[in-house]
Structure formats: C-alpha cells, structure tokens
Amino acid sequence: MIRVLGIETSCDETAASIVALDGASAPKILSNVVLSQIAEHAAFGGVVPEIAARAHVEALDGIVEAALTDSDMSLDDIDAIAATAGPGLVGGLIVGLMTAKAIAAAAGKPLLAINHLEGHALTARLTDGLTFPYLLLLVSGGHTQIVRVAGVGDYQRWATTIDDALGEAFDKTAKMLGLPYPGGPNVEKAAAKGDPARFAFPRPMKGSPQPDFSFSGLKTAVRQTAQAIAPLTEQDVADICASFQTAVADALADRVSRALSRFRAEFPHEERPALVVAGGVAANRMIKTTLEGLCDKAGFRFVAPPLKLCTDNAAMIAWAGIERLQAGLKDENAFDFVPRSRWPLDIVSTPVVGAGRRGAKA
C-alpha cells in the first residue's frame, strides 16, 4: 500500500488529496478537497496573483487537515508528500511547496516536487487505467499543448500555442463581451442561444504544416466585430459566442487530426490508441463532441477524466507522486527544489516561443 498526500496551489484553487495504491488493485482517491477562489477574483475578470497567494496562505492548512479527516488518516499513515512545484503563479507555488516541505520535514516523509502538467498527463491512468503510450491534449487557462505520453517522465511535446492558451482566449472573449468570470462556461452558455454562422471568424493555423496552435488572431477578430456592431444586444453577444466557439472547435479538430495521424505513424501496432483530453476547456460540450467524432473517425479511444479531475486538483498531484515512486524517480534533492513559474513538461524539445530569465516559455 502506497498512500500519498498531494497539495496543489498553482493558480486559484487550494487543494489537498490523499490517493492510495494497493498492489494490483485499482488506485483509490481517499479524499479530494478543493477550495475555489472564483468569488475572490470575479470582480477583476481574471485571477489576481497576489490575491490568490494570500488566499492559499489562509486556507491551505485547513484544506490539508480536511483531506486527512476525510480519508480517516493521520500523517503517520502517509508514505510521501507530493506538491505542485510549477508551472504556475509563483506566489501560490511558494505557499504550496513550502507547506509540503514543512509537513514532510516534520513528519519525516519523502517529498516529491511535481510538475503540474505531469499531473494532468497521468490522470487518465488514475481514472481509466490507461497503458502507455497515448496522446494528451491539454487545454486550460494557462496551457494548450499536444503531448505524446510514452511513460512516467517520458514526454514529448508535439504542439503548443504560440500566443494565448485556449482557456485564456475564452476568458478574454467573455470579458470583452461583458460576460462574468470564469469566461469559458459563460461563453458556452451564451453560445447555446446564438447563431454560429453569423460571423465568419478565422480558424487560426488551420491547414498550416506547423503543428502548433494560435488564438490571438481569433480573439482580435472577436474584438473588432464587437466594436463594429456596438452597442451589443444580448443576441449579438450570443451570436459572437456561438461563432467564436465554432471557430475554436474547427481549429482544434484540424490541429488534433494532424497529431492523430502522426501517432498512428509512430505507433502502428497500437490497435485502438487513446487521445486523452484534460484541462478545464475539456468541459466544453461542443469541443468534446467535435473531438469524440474525430477520434471515432480515426479509430482512437477518446478519454476525458471526470471534470473534477480535469480541472486543477490535488488528486492528480498525489497520483503523479505515486507514479514517480513506482518508477523509482524519487528526487533526493526535493527539499532544495525552488518553485518554477515556467517548467515545460517536455525537457527535450526546443522552446517554440523562446525563453526568458524564468526559463523556457513553452
């Protein structure tokens, strides 16, 4: 039996979870406590890093205690502590990782510094028991990537966004149209009442031999359209949202189809390989339906973990810790690890959009 306490504070969710693996049995999530900060950031139309960090400081001890209580465990029963160490908002990362270091030191437990993206990459093995290799589409507020997952610690980025992440594009579109935060669910809600054919928005990168994503131009087209027909009626907003959402789904399908073909070519003996979709944007029904159809046509299995495990949570961090322990990848220098606001999952590929003093961007 391996039991790991996971801590996640990379953005605006304060989370703690305990996950257990008992021999050949399926893993079990014994507790998964998530405190959202949506209310604290709603007035600003997005996440304010300083507010997020302070909220983590105030809540994290209680969240960890709740995770232990829900699982009927004490720290003595835990085998290791895993915490998100990047990428993300550095203030929140400091709170989570320093708390994990303190708990691990006081309890005499091993510490695992986990890449947030690895948590997303391995979640489908927790929920669906997937075997390697598989393809991951990560679409969230901070990340839009296609990654080949060949093993624990063996990741290759095949595509990334060269500007905005898709979730960011949804949030900024919502803000431009006067819709509440968070943008993704509210754009989808408005789009349900709109005409997706009214506005001919661009399909960024569609047909391009370059495998990456781009959403900045689409966001600009939305802004120009909204300004041209202002003042906007409720129907105008709905039509813009529906047209925007359709353009996004179309562009995603084009990019993902290229990755599916490449995966087939590199792993020809996989009878029905899997495409795993993770991140908050995976909850969008139109995007999900589009990708399901694409997978059916290409002979792929479509896997989307439950929404509570697709968005930021600590169960995926605890599970990534278990996977690393099982693979013998425990870091003896974890207590010296410094939180990283940038931390590409793929450490081999050349950054697509360069690097700065904080490290590679993507």
Looking at domain 2-122+309-360, its CATH class is alpha beta
What kind of fold does domain 133-307 have according to CATH? Nucleotidyltransferase; domain 5 (3.30.420)
From edge to edge, which strands make up the β-sheet containing 111-115?
A: 28-36, 13-21, 2-8, 80-86, 111-115
**C-beta separation of 169 from 202 below 8 A:** no
The amino acid sitting at 18 is: I
311: helix, coil or strand? coil
pLDDT tens-place values along the chain, 362 residues long: 999 999 999 999 999 999 999 987 899 999 999 999 988 998 888 899 999 999 999 999 999 999 999 999 999 999 999 999 999 999 999 999 999 999 999 999 999 999 999 999 999 999 999 999 999 999 988 889 999 999 999 999 999 999 999 999 999 999 999 999 889 999 999 999 999 999 999 999 999 988 999 999 999 999 999 999 999 999 999 999 999 999 999 999 999 999 999 999 999 999 999 999 998 888 899 999 999 999 999 999 999 999 899 999 999 999 999 999 999 998 888 999 999 999 999 877 656 666 655 666 55
User: How high is the pLDDT of residue 356?
Assistant: 59
Do the domains 2-122+309-360 and 133-307 sit in the same CATH topology, yes or no?
yes
CA 315 to chain centre: 13
All structural domains of the chain with their residue ranges: 2-122+309-360, 133-307
> Model-level pTM?
0.93
**C-beta separation of 85 from 115 below 8 A:** yes
